[in-house]
Amino acid sequence: MKGIIFTEFIDIVENTFDLEVCQSMLDKAGDSGAYTSVGSYEHQRLVKLIISLSKVTGVPAEQLQQTFGRAVFPRLLQLLPNYHFVDSNTFDFIRSVEAYIHQEVKKLYPDTTPPRFEFANETETTMTMDYHSARCMGYVCLGLLEGCADYFNQALEITLEPTDQKDHVRFHLLLSDN
């Protein structure tokens, strides 16, 4: 997993909670917190940080993942070179993640394995998509979807449907007029 995820996670923890909570999380995880945005790290380290933060704060790990995903979306969006979303919307962007962004990530970092999206069906206001990731970060993806809708100022109802496989969840998305 790319270091930018770790540096952003620690920054969001500091800003959402405070430095003391962040340090307690790092101590509980036995982690120095020394990450660089360009480094690569095992995703289990992030999982351990999330579990430790949950223990320190009493907030469920799934909720922390979702909150992180939502908060990190605009930060990650700023890192995308040469890609403009002027005429885009939530669904267009989500499709572009699989069609463009994940492909570019693979070119830049051949050793990485980004998540994979499969689109089961779609209308103007609904989308059903499957999220596949060996990292099992479905709740981070849920937060990213929420952050995407926030960015495009669209009301989005999201239902996360777990499957029998930990590396696969299905999302049902509904755009509403709210």
Please give, one letter per residue, the 3-state secondary structure of 9-67: HHHHHHHHCCHHHHHHHHHHHCCCCCCCCCCECCHHHHHHHHHHHHHHHCCCHHHHHHH
Instruction: Assess whether 51 and 8 both reside in one domain.
Output: yes
Residues 46 and 99 both lie in one domain = no
Q: How many CA atoms lie within 13 A of 126 on its CB side?
A: 7
Here the CATH number for the domain that contains residue 147 is 3.90.1520.10
CA atoms within 13 A on the CB side of 105: 19
- Residues 13 and 54: beta-carbon distance below 8 Å: no
Domain tally, the chain: 2
Q: At what angle do helices 61-78 and 3-16 cross, to 10 degrees?
A: 110
One domain for residues 41 and 119: no
Tell me if 129 is assigned to some domain: yes
Name the phi and psi angles at 115, rounded to 5.
-60, 165
Q: Is residue 171 part of a domain?
A: yes
**62 token code pair:** 């799934």
**Sheet with 126-132: strands ordered across:** 116-122, 126-132, 168-176, 155-162
Least confident of 12-21, 107-116, 151-160: 107-116
Q: Can you give the residue range of the structural domain that contains 109?
A: 88-176
Is 65 within the bounds of a domain?
no
Instruction: Check whether residue 102 and residue 24 sit in a common domain.
Output: no
Same domain, 54 and 116: no
Distance CA 78, CA 70 (A): 14
| Tens-place pLDDT, residues 153-169 | 999 999 999 888 888 99
Same-domain pairing of 124 and 163: yes
| Per-residue pLDDT tens digits for 37-69 | 888 899 999 999 999 999 999 999 999 999 999
